[in-house]
Amino acid sequence: MKESFYQKHPYFSAILIGLLCTFITALGTAVPQIIWLDTNVQIVVTTVFLIISIAIGIIIMRKTRFTLSDYGFQLSKKDTNHKVWWYIPLLAVEILPIVIAGFSSEVSVLQYFILLFFTVAVGFNEEIYFRGLALKFMEEKGRKNAIIWTSVVFGALHLANIFNGKSPLYLVLQLFFAFLVGFVLAEIVSITRSLWIVIIWHAAHDYISSITGDALDKTALIILAIQVGVLSIYAICLWKTINTGDTSKTTKK
């Protein structure tokens, strides 16, 4: 059988998938700003672009030789939950900013609902492309290589944050945090073979980040530094349970 493009060029395919996801998201963010829409309307428009991106991602999935279940649209097996510590470190990372920073007083009731739909769309979108498509393409080179490479791509594409005017220390921590998030989530998908938990966590993380404020003060730096520390330890421990086998044999029936 003739090899597909992503089989011949898994590294390049992973980069292209990441760029496609980033481009559509950036477009959905830029368009409403260019035409000077209200903040809430901007978020709604961006959410629509994300939904379009999700649809494109699923179409790409269905065009490959893998099934949606192969990509992770299935529930994780119960015997894998203990291998990922029942996701306790992920819960700790999200509880931390709520306990330390509390909820932002600048978020209105309407924005709570708008941000909920927006962050759910973000969670689905990024996980479909990075821990779904890119990770599966890279598994042609083995699971551990797939985890490392997709995490590098995920972290590198967050370099766009350099233009948001934040402090160098915050940007470094944020970049490292993005890499670690990509690394840990890829490990979880490799162990559980399911995208659902990482989609839920990703959405929850972005939602909590949105409603706890974005002040770049000492507290924010401390929270981010602790989160990086927790994820670093979690990543190291999960790494020991990853099988090195090639899972590219699975195909559509």
Within-domain flag for 251: no
Q: Which residues contact 206 (CB under 8 A, 6 or more apart)?
A: 118, 119, 122, 123
244 belongs to a structural domain? no
Packed helices 109-126 and 39-63: angle between N→C axes, nearest 10 degrees: 20
246 part of a folded domain: no
Does residue 249 belong to any structural domain of this protein?
A: no
Vertex 87 angle, CA 137 and 250, to 5°: 25
* In a domain? residue 23: yes
Res. 56: pLDDT tops 50: yes
Q: Is 38 left (phi over 0), alpha (psi -120 to 50) or beta?
A: beta
Is there a contact between 178 and 162 (Cβ–Cβ < 8 Å)?
no
Mean pLDDT of 38-59: 97
- Domain count of the chain? 1
Q: Is 76 contained in some domain? A: yes
Q: Is residue 247 assigned to a domain?
A: no
Structural domain containing residue 45: 5-239
Residue type, 83: K
Average pLDDT along the chain = 89
Mean pLDDT of 159-178: 74
Q: pTM for the whole thing?
A: 0.91
Confidence of residue 251 (pLDDT cuts 50, 70, 90): low
CB 49 within 8 A of CB 24: yes
User: Is there a domain that residue 147 lies in?
Assistant: yes
